[in-house]
C-alpha cells in the first residue's frame, strides 16, 4: 500500500461513522465549560461555552422539528459572521436538515435562484435588511413556508410567514422538556453520507452550482487538516469572511469544531483589523486582498510616524526585511551585514509591528482562495509573519493542498493534505482525489457532475499545475474562465457579460477581474445599433470610433452598466468600464469563428486599457 493510501485509510478509520452531532457531543464531554464562541457587544466580549453551544443547537433543532422540518429539507441562512449563524447551521444539521448559507451581498434574483433550486422550506435571516430582499421574491418561492428573523421580528408581528428567532428557540426549549431523547435520537440518524451543507459556487455558465459537502467530507477534511497542523484544543481563531464561502465555512465550523478551537466572531470584514489585535489569534485566514490591505496599512502608519528618526528606522527595517525575504525566496545569498541588520530590526521593529497588528501569536497565518503576489509574501516574511498558502476548491471541501508551518515553499500551494492524491494530465491539468472530494457532485446537476468528476473519483480542477522535485505544487494557469478576485470571490464572467449585453448598443463585453480588487469591463459597441441610436437621439455618427468617444454615448452605457449591476451582487458588479473604439470579429482575433471570446487574446491586446482602469 502506498503512503498516501495508508494515510487515507488512517483518516477514514478515524472519522468512520461520525457526523457533527458526534463531534459536538465529544466537545461538551471534553471541554464543556471552556469557551467555544466569542462575540463583542456593548464594547464587551461575551462567550458561549461548548455546553451552551450544544444546548442552543438543540433548541434550534427541536424548534425546526416543531415547525415540521423533515430529514433532507433545505434551510437557508443569511446572516453575518455571528454565533447564531453557526448555531443555526448546526441546529439544522442536528435536526436532519441541510443548511445552505447565502452570501450577504446576494441580490433578490440570486436569492430566488438558489432558494428555488434547493427548495428551501425555511429561511433564517439576521434582520430587516436581508428580509426586504426575500420579500421581493417571496411569491416566486412556493416551497418557502416560514422566515425566522434573528433581529427585528417585532415589526412583523402580523405577518404569519415571519417568526422571531427567540420564538423558535422557545419552541425548541418546550420540546426538549419531555423530548430530550427525541433530539438525541434525531442527530444520531444523520448518516456520514448525508449533506453537511450545500455550497453554491459560481459556474462559467452563469447560474451557481450547489456542491454537496457531506458530513464525511467535512469531518475527513478537518481530521486531515489536524494531521497536517497540530491544533491544540482551546486555540483561537477570528471568523470574518462570508460563511457562504467554502474556505471560511470549513475554518469556522468544521475545523474549529473538530479541533475544539475558540472562535471570535467579527460581523463586518472591515472590522477585522480592530478585532485581531484584541484576540491575538493562533490561526488567521485571509484572502490576498486582505493581506494587501494590511500591508498597505502598516506602510501608511510607518509613513505617518511624526518622529523623523523613528520613521527612518522603521522604513529601513521594512525595506531590509523585504529584501532578505526576496533573496531567500529566489535562492540568492544574503550578505552577512544584511543578516545582522535584519536581526536587529527584529527586536526593534518587527516584533512590535506583529504585536500591534495582533499576529504576534499567530502560528498559522493562512492565505487561500486566490493567488497571492510574491511581493506581499516577501513583505510579511520580512516582518516575521510567514504566510502559509493553501489551495482548494468548494468541491474539495476547501483545502486540498497546503504549505505548513514547518514545511513551506514561498510561491507554491504546498503539498497534498494527508490522504489526498493528486496527478497531472498531459496538458498539466491538476486532478485531486480524497475523502475531502465530494462524490455527490453538484446538486441536481448530473451532466455538470459528470464533466468534473470521473468514474475513478478524480476531480478535474481545471487548473494547470507544476510539481517540483520536492513535491511542492505551483498553480500556473487555469483552463476554466472563472474569475477569482483578489478578495477570493469566484465570479462567472459570462453572467456579468450577459447582463450588460441586454442593451442593444452593446455588442460584446469582456469582464476583467482575475486577481484584481474589483470587476471591470471592456465594452464593444454594435455598429448598426449605434447608427440607429445616434439618429434617434440626435448624436452625430461619423465613425464608430468618434461615436464611442461621445459623452452622451458614455452616459447611455453607464445606464446599461447600472441596470446590469442591479441584478448582480456587490462583488460581481462592474465598477469601471472602457468603451473600445473598434469592433471585435474573428478576423481581428478577439472572437472565435463561433463568436466566443478569446480571453487571452483580449487580455494581451488591450492590456493598456485594462491597466488604465486599475491605475
- Looking at the fold, whether 317 and 413 belong to one and the same domain comes out as yes
Strands 209-214 and 195-201: what pairing? antiparallel
**153 by DSSP, 3-state: which?**
helix
- DSSP letter (8 states) at residue 581: S
Q: Is the pLDDT of residue 342 over 70?
A: yes
Q: Is the pLDDT of residue 9 over 90?
A: yes
Q: Give the span between the Cα atoms of 166 and 169, in whole angstroms.
A: 5
pLDDT of residue 269: 85
Q: Is the pLDDT of residue 204 over 50?
A: no
Q: Give the span between the Cα atoms of 365 and 39, in whole angstroms.
A: 21
Out of 464, 483, 502, a domain closes at 483
Domain count, the chain: 3
Mean pLDDT of 171-192: 96
**End-to-end alpha-carbon separation of the chain, Å?**
54
| 373 occurs within a structural domain | yes
- Looking at the fold, whether 462 and 538 belong to one and the same domain comes out as no
| 338 occurs within a structural domain | yes
CA dihedral (142, 148, 151, 157) positive or negative: positive
- Looking at the fold, whether 365 and 506 belong to one and the same domain comes out as no
Which domain does 353 fall in, by range?
A: 288-483
**75 by DSSP, 3-state: which?**
strand
The pTM score is: 0.81
Q: Is the pLDDT of residue 371 over 90?
A: no
| 2 occurs within a structural domain | no
Return mean pLDDT, the chain.
92
Residues 6+ apart with CB under 8 A from 18: 192, 215, 219
Q: What is the DSSP string of 411-461?
A: TS--EEPTT-EEEE-TT-EEEEESTTS-SS-BTT-HHHHHHHB-TTS-EEE
| 42 occurs within a structural domain | yes
- Looking at the fold, whether 513 and 538 belong to one and the same domain comes out as yes
pLDDT of residue 305: 86
Q: Give the span between the Cα atoms of 498 and 496, in whole angstroms.
A: 6
- Looking at the fold, whether 318 and 440 belong to one and the same domain comes out as yes
Tens of pLDDT, residue by residue over 226-275, are: 999 878 999 999 999 999 989 999 999 999 999 999 999 999 988 999 99
pLDDT of residue 206: 54
- Looking at the fold, whether 439 and 503 belong to one and the same domain comes out as no
Of the candidates 180, 219, 166, the residue with the CA atom closest to the CA atom of residue 27:
219
Tens of pLDDT, residue by residue over 516-536, are: 999 999 999 988 888 888 988
pLDDT of residue 597: 81
- Looking at the fold, whether 440 and 546 belong to one and the same domain comes out as no
Cell numbers at 179, concatenated: 423530548
pLDDT of residue 595: 62
CATH code for position 145: 3.40.50.12780
- Looking at the fold, whether 514 and 533 belong to one and the same domain comes out as yes
| 196 occurs within a structural domain | no
Tens of pLDDT, residue by residue over 562-592, are: 998 998 888 899 999 999 998 888 678 787 6
- Looking at the fold, whether 450 and 335 belong to one and the same domain comes out as yes
CATH code for position 578: 3.30.300.30
| 533 occurs within a structural domain | yes
Q: How confident is the model at residue 203 (pLDDT cuts 50, 70, 90)?
A: very low
| 113 occurs within a structural domain | yes
Q: How open is the CA angle 533-510-478, to the nearest 5 degrees?
A: 170
| Percentage of residues in the chain having pLDDT higher than 70 | 97
Out of 459, 483, 507, a domain closes at 483
Q: Give the span between the Cα atoms of 570 and 242, in whole angstroms.
A: 13
| 267 occurs within a structural domain | no
- Looking at the fold, whether 382 and 518 belong to one and the same domain comes out as no
Out of 431, 457, 483, a domain closes at 483
pLDDT of residue 38: 98
- Looking at the fold, whether 292 and 438 belong to one and the same domain comes out as yes
- DSSP letter (8 states) at residue 139: G
Residues 6+ apart with CB under 8 A from 548: 525, 579, 580, 581
- Looking at the fold, whether 551 and 457 belong to one and the same domain comes out as no
Q: Give the span between the Cα atoms of 521 and 498, in whole angstroms.
A: 12
Tens of pLDDT, residue by residue over 52-108, are: 999 999 999 999 999 999 999 999 999 999 999 999 999 999 999 999 999 888 889
pLDDT of residue 593: 45
Amino acid at each position: 500500500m502506498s503512503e498516501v493510501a495508508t494515510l487515507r485509510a488512517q483518516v477514514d478509520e478515524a472519522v468512520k461513522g461520525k457526523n457533527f452531532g458526534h463531534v459536538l457531543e465529544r466537545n461538551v464531554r471534553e471541554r464543556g465549560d471552556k469557551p467555544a464562541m466569542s462575540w463583542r457587544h456593548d464594547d464587551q466580549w461575551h462567550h458561549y461555552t461548548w455546553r451552551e453551544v450544544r444546548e442552543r443547537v438543540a433548541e434550534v433543532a427541536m424548534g425546526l422539528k416543531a415547525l415540521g422540518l423533515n430529514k433532507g429539507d433545505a434551510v437557508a441562512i443569511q446572516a453575518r459572521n455571528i454565533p447564531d449563524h453557526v448555531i443555526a447551521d448546526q441546529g439544522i444539521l442536528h435536526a436532519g436538515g441541510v443548511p445552505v448559507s447565502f452570501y450577504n451581498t446576494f441580490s433578490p434574483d440570486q436569492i430566488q435562484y438558489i432558494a428555488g433550486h434547493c427548495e428551501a422550506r425555511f429561511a433564517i435571516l439576521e434582520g430587516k435588511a436581508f428580509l426586504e430582499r426575500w420579500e421581493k421574491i417571496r411569491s416566486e418561492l412556493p416551497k418557502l413556508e416560514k422566515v425566522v428573523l434573528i433581529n427585528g421580528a417585532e415589526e412583523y408581528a402580523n405577518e404569519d410567514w415571519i417568526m422571531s428567532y427567540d420564538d423558535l428557540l422557545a419552541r425548541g426549549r418546550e420540546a426538549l422538556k419531555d423530548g430530550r431523547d427525541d433530539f438525541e435520537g434525531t442527530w444520531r440518524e444523520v448518516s456520514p453520507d448525508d449533506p453537511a451543507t450545500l455550497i453554491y459556487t459560481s459556474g462559467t455558465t452563469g447560474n451557481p452550482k450547489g456542491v454537496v459537502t457531506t458530513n464525511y467530507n467535512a469531518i475527513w477534511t478537518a481530521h486531515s487538516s489536524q494531521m497536517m497542523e497540530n491544533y491544540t484544543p482551546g486555540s483561537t481563531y477570528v471568523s470574518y469572511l462570508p460563511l457562504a464561502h467554502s474556505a471560511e465555512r470549513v475554518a469556522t465550523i468544521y475545523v474549529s469544531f473538530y479541533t475544539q478551537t475558540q472562535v471570535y466572531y467579527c460581523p463586518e470584514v472591515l472590522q477585522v483589523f480592530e478585532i485581531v489585535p484584541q484576540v491575538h489569534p493562533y490561526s488567521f485566514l485571509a484572502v490576498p486582498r486582505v493581506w494587501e490591505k494590511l500591508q498597505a496599512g502598516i506602510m501608511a502608519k510607518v509613513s505617518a510616524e511624526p518622529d523623523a528618526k523613528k520613521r527612518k528606522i522603521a522604513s529601513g527595517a521594512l525595506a531590509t526585511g523585504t529584501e532578505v525575504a526576496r533573496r531567500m525566496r529566489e535562492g540568492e545569498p544574503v550578505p552577512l551585514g544584511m543578516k545582522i541588520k535584519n536581526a536587529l530590526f527584529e527586536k526593534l521593529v518587527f516584533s512590535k509591528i506583529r504585536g500591534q497588528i495582533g499576529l504576534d501569536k499567530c502560528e498559522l497565518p493562512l492565505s487561500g482562495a486566490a493567488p497571492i503576489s510574491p511581493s506581499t509574501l516577501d513583505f510579511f516574511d520580512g516582518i516575521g509573519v510567514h504566510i502559509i498558502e493553501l489551495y482548494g476548491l468548494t468541491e474539495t471541501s476547501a483545502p486540498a493542498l497546503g504549505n505548513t508551518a514547518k514545511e513551506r515553499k514561498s510561491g507554491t500551494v504546498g503539498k497534498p493534505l494527508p490522504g489526498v492524491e493528486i496527478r497531472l494530465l498531459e496538458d498539466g491539468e491538476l486532478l485531486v482525489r480524497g475523502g475531502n472530494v465530494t462524490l455527490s457532485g453538484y446538486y441536481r446537476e448530473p451532466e455538470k457532475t459528470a464533466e468534473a468528476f470521473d468514474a475513478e473519483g478524480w476531480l478535474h480542477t481545471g487548473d494547470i499545475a507544476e510539481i517540483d522535485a520536492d513535491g511542492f505544487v505551483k498553480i500556473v494557469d487555469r483552463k476554466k474562465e472563472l474569475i477569482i478576485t483578489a478578495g477570493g470571490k469566484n465570479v462567472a464572467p459570462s453572467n456579468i457579460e450577459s447582463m450588460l449585453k441586454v442593451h442593444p448598443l452593446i455588442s460584446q463585453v469582456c469582464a476583467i477581474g482575475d486577481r484584481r480588487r474589483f470587476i471591470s469591463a471592456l465594452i464593444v459597441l454594435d455598429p448598426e445599433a449605434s447608427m440607429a441610436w445616434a439618429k434617434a437621439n440626435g448624436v452625430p455618427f461619423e465613425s464608430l470610433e468618434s461615436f464611442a468617444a461621445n459623452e452622451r454615448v458614455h452616459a447611455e452605457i453607464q445606464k446599461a452598466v447600472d441596470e446590469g449591476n442591479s441584478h448582480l451582487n456587490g462583488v460581481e458588479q462592474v465598477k469601471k468600464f472602457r468603451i473600445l473604439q473598434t469592433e471585435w470579429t474573428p478576423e481581428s482575433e478577439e472572437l472565435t469563428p463561433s463568436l466566443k471570446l478569446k480571453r487571452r487574446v483580449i487580455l494581451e491586446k488591450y492590456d493598456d486599457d485594462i491597466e488604465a482602469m486599475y491605475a
